[in-house]
Structure 1
């Protein structure tokens, strides 16, 4: 049975140089399973993606993996998940992840993680959803992005009418409390999702 609440986790298909990144992925996976929050993620078994998924599964949690056909071998699709969705392309993958998620969190990652975070944040900025978005800034990994967003605001490219809500937390332990609080403050159930009409 699919859990009522799910977090879509964006993160790297590599481990990165800092052991704190893997530790954070494992800590988040444990916290999600303990809280009954299902994982929606990119479906691979490598890097932080694999660490989060295996940890959620190992602690009795529910995992939905969503992967496009062309990445099934490259990212070594994790077949042990509860729910495995193979999509025809990246666009379908991202739309399916959005549809199945109650909120989003970004752990450290590369361009793919950044692109997914930027897109889901842009959708929020344009009023397409009000689901929680959390940036998990492990050991300051995302500091350059936070600085860039501040710069965009200072230069009036993020301005009144184009604001968005993104919670920045410093540790994996803070993700679930931030997610739960944001759900209470801004429940998304009452708001339509125009982008889903395009699926």
Structure 2
């Protein structure tokens, strides 16, 4: 398998909007920003100016890269949109935002985040299981942040709520700097995954 070329490709990053996360997570987002710029990828993100979300966009832009935001109008109305980003898609609902974050993207990366990040990641995994999103999904388990989630997903397989092959719907890395390499070395999923989505008797 040849390495995936990300030059000009849109890569979505899910991450926290909280401005109070530990510096280690901020530094990790900076490293991810650099690897995205080095790869020539376009950052697609939730459009916010705070927390890891705002930080990674700032870092990408200041390092000479491109960022594209997707944000509901009601958040723009309270001036939550990132001031340095000039490529914005404004939508009406959070559901439309999630759809916009996945549209025409080459991969997605989930950094540590809150319930919004968790919801976005869960929907992306579900869509991949159903063959509606075939690109790499990378979970960044920095500082063991997603250990409990990964155990829960494994339990879903162990107790047959999911098939064993569904554990291959995502790739786990321990640090943001490794996410882009995971994307370039991961193949797209076959569309016939839909026929194996259900756990049959």
Moved more, 16-25 or 116-125: 16-25
Q: Output aligned runs, 1:94-173, within 5 Å.
A: 94-159=98-163, 164-173=168-177
**Is this contact kept in 1: 2:11–2:41, CA < 8 A?**
yes
1:55 corresponds to which residue? 59
Moved more, 159-168 or 49-58: 159-168
1:70 aligns with 2:57: no
Match of 1:186 among 177, 185, 188: 188
* CA shift for structure 1 position 36: 0.3
**Is this contact kept in 2: 1:43–1:78, CA < 8 A?**
yes
* CA shift for structure 1 position 16: 4.6
* CA shift for structure 1 position 172: 1.1
1:10 corresponds to which residue? 14
TM, length-normalised to structure 2: 0.86
- Name structure 1 gaps, 5 residues minimum: 193-199
TM, length-normalised to structure 1: 0.87
Q: Distance in 1 between matches of 2:68 and 2:33?
A: 13
Deviations 1:101-155 (A, max 9, x none): 2111100110000000000110001111211000001111111101111111111
2:3 corresponds to which residue? none
Q: Distance in 2 between matches of 1:81 and 1:170?
A: 29
Q: Distance in 1 between matches of 2:148 and 2:137?
A: 18
SS for the counterpart of 1:60 is coil
Q: Distance in 2 between matches of 1:139 and 1:112?
A: 20
SS for the counterpart of 1:186 is coil
RMSD: 2.1
Q: Distance in 1 between matches of 2:189 and 2:62?
A: 30
Number of aligned residue pairs: give it: 187
**Is this contact kept in 1: 2:21–2:51, CA < 8 A?**
no
Match of 1:43 among 41, 47, 50: 47
Moved more, 79-88 or 127-136: 79-88
* CA shift for structure 1 position 47: 0.2
